[in-house]
Amino acid sequence: MEKTFSIVGVFLLLAFSSFGETESESNQSVTSTTASGLNVDIDGNEQFDALTDGLLVLRSMFGLTGSSLISGAVASDAVYTDAEDIQSRITGLGNRLDIDNNGTVDALTDGLIILRYLFGLTADPWYL
């Protein structure tokens, strides 16, 4: 039952995110203190945001590419705005996206864990 709610939530989020540009001020974020290395700050604006970085990771896990991947999910101050660059950064995270360490990267488990984290379920900066 809980998984059903999670699936519904993911699709609601994906649907909601397609309405215009998302801005980082409406959700919780933490500032990155690292300047180098790949982490979950996919768009490179030194903020970990659920509605940009989290959504980009989740969409990628669902197999979206190109404009479907980045539409409405790139922060206005993003360093990386090109779909190929963003896909490359997500791919570069590799197995570090396998949060539950079960050997596969899956949107409805690993992706949701990342998203929940970025929505502020903990206050500490998080590095993959």
Map the footprint of Ca ion across residues 42-61, applying CB under 5 A. Answer: 43, 45, 47, 53
Q: Which residues contact 13 (CB under 8 A, 6 or more apart)?
A: 55, 58, 115
Q: Per CB under 5 A, does 87 bind Ca ion?
A: no
**CA-CA-CA-CA torsion for 101, 74, 47, 76, nearest 10 degrees?**
180
Distance CA 89, CA 86 (A): 5
Exposure string over 33-45, b if 16+ CB within 10 A, otherwise e: eeeeebbbbbbbb
For Ca ion, the binding residue among 6, 30, 98, 116 (CB under 5 A) is: 98
Q: Smallest distance, Å, CB 9 to Ca ion?
A: 18
Is 100 an interacting residue with respect to Ca ion (CB under 5 A)? yes
- Residue closer to Ca ion, measured from CB, 50 or 64: 50
Residue 59 or 110 with smaller CB distance to Ca ion? 110
Instruction: List interacting residues with Ca ion (CB under 5 A).
Output: 41, 43, 45, 47, 53, 98, 100, 102, 110
